[in-house]
Chains A and B, each alone.
Chain A
Amino acid sequence: MNGTTTLERRSFGETMRADVWWTQPLLVFIGLSIFIVYSTWAAFQGQNYFFGNYISPFYSPEILGDSPHSWFGPKPDWWPAWLIFSPALLVLWAPGGFRLTCYYYRGAYYKAFWADPPACTVGEPRKSYWGERSFPLIMQNVHRYFLYLAVLFLLVLAYDVWKALWFPDGFGIGIGTIVLAINVVLLGGYTFGCHSLRHLAGGLLDQFSKAPACYRAYTCVSCFNRRHMLWAWLSLFWVGFADLYVRLCAMGVWHDFRIV
């Protein structure tokens, strides 16, 4: 570019903004930190993750494990003794990767955790910048593959809700059933508003009129996509709460109330 700007590059945190610009990145930092700490702790517990017909969403699908929800039985004998085992660790990477590479979360955590930038028009701590053009952030382009896995997980979690309707004495609805059902609804709202899904459903086309079904799908995904941030936070909070609910019921701290 010809010439230079005479206003000097602002130092970290420097801005002419008069508003409390740091509230949003701070709230994102606190919210995501709490979730990361709690989910990591819960994933390493390896116990109290099921209560009767309920299973924590952090542990579902339970590929290997000791609960009756396990797909392929208990931990195999050949599992190395030095390697920590928890059913959650076998599956949590998939939804974790989906959120990590999500377009909304990317923008949010680049600001809140990496100050890149801390907020709009606020000075940054580093002079160098690579963006998502080179390693490691170029890996964010894998997002659509995590989307495929997230859709499969959603089906499994919906099946968990079905199982949560069947108690030893037959059909019923408990508070836990509702908690798990809300979890699926919120995760569905988040997953079906995904930017990659919006593209794959029809956004990649230039002529919607030649593919009316794709256009309808695109419109539907766009509808969820408009509130993607809201779905992202609600589903994040609720999936953590669903784990906490099942955990506290399993520990005998909370009593699951049967409605039907």
Chain B
Amino acid sequence: MKAVFKIWRGDAKGGEFRDYTTEVAEGMVVLDAIHDIQRTQAPDLACRWNCKAGKCGSCSAEVNGMPKLMCMTRLSELPLEKPVTVEPMKAFPVLKDLVTDVSWNFRVKKKIKPFKPRHPDAPDGTWRMQQEDIDRVQEFRKCIECFLCQDVCHVLRDHQMHERFIGPRFLIHVAALEMHPLDTEDRTEELRNKQGIGYCNITKCCTNVCPESIQITDNGIIPLKERVVDDFYDPFGWVWKGFKKLLNR
């Protein structure tokens, strides 16, 4: 069976969709088709890929308008009677064809307050943690940094607020640090101001596209929003905290 792929070709100056027809077979994923096209018709077609197992997060692109890992998108899931569109992620600058410059993400990550553990629990300099304390954080650690969540987030994608909002990926990173049982750093002030958590309007698009099925909104962003409410918007909470501090003295 043959299928038509509409692939975006171009660079930072501009580009266009071009049609490629290729043979498809059972079990193929979009990345296989892209590689076939690269091998037979367009050797200069640029695409980033590595593991082909949905674990490296390299082959992120938009397939039929939705951010997806090309290596995990089976052709059998797509309506092949229509052309399949493949384009680069829209939230980041295009380098060439399907390859985007995601370096902004790494710069953002550097600005987040790092892990600051409490003093070691044991004389040998190690800590003790219970499984229930670390369960939440382990979910966030599944992130493969494919940046599909960043791409689908309309605050970055449509409103280009990269300077004011760190995006779902890094809110999850902050959540992993904030909720860590050993961490002693406080990041709520930064979350509210520099990192712009208030820009998230809970569309859950990030959760929908996450290839690791991390519940980004429910388990990460909303709990962080609630921590910001604790510190900045809840007068009863301040009184309660003050009362508890008095009792603990």
Contact = CB atoms under 8 A, between A and B. Distances in A.
Contacts of B88: 7
Contact of A121 (B12, B62, B202, B230): B62
Interface string A1-44: 11111110110000111110000000000000000000000000
B160 A117 contact: no
A75 interface: no
B211 interface: no
Nearest to B205: A120
A196 B93 contact: no
Dominant secondary structure of chain A at its interface with chain B: loop
B62 A206 contact: no
19 contacts: A6-B10, A6-B15, A103-B222, A104-B202, A116-B201, A121-B205, A123-B158, A131-B155, A132-B198, A132-B199, A132-B201, A144-B226, A145-B236, A196-B226, A199-B227, A203-B226, A206-B133, A206-B178, A206-B183
A99 to B, nearest CB: 14
B226 A195 contact: yes
Nearest to A104: B202
Contacts of A121: 62, 65-67, 90, 152, 157, 205
B190 interface: no
Interface stretch (B29-37, B50-58, B79-87): B79-87
B218 A120 contact: no
Interface string B141-176: 000000000001011011111110000000000000
B136 to A, nearest CB: 9
B181 A207 contact: yes
B133 A18 contact: no
B20 interface: no
A252 interface: no
A62 interface: no
Interface of B: 8, 10-15, 62, 64-67, 79, 82, 85, 87-88, 90-94, 101, 103-104, 130, 132-133, 152, 154-155, 157-163, 178-181, 183, 196, 198-205, 208-209, 217-218, 222-223, 225-230, 232-234, 236
B218 A225 contact: yes
Contacts of B152: 120-121
B159 A120 contact: no
Report the contact-size class of chain A (Cβ under 8 Å from the partner): 35 or more
B229 A133 contact: no
Contacts of B226: 144, 195-196, 199, 203-204
Nearest to A19: B64
Nearest to A197: B226
Given A18-B79, A131-B200, A225-B218, 9 more contacts: A4-B93, A6-B94, A18-B65, A117-B205, A120-B203, A133-B196, A195-B223, A203-B223, A207-B130
Contacts of A18: 64-65, 79, 82, 85
B211 to A, nearest CB: 15
A9 B11 CA distance: 16
A198 B228 CA distance: 15
Contact of A132 (B65, B200, B217): B200
A6 B154 contact: no
Interface in A120-138: 120-121, 123-124, 127, 129, 131-134, 137-138
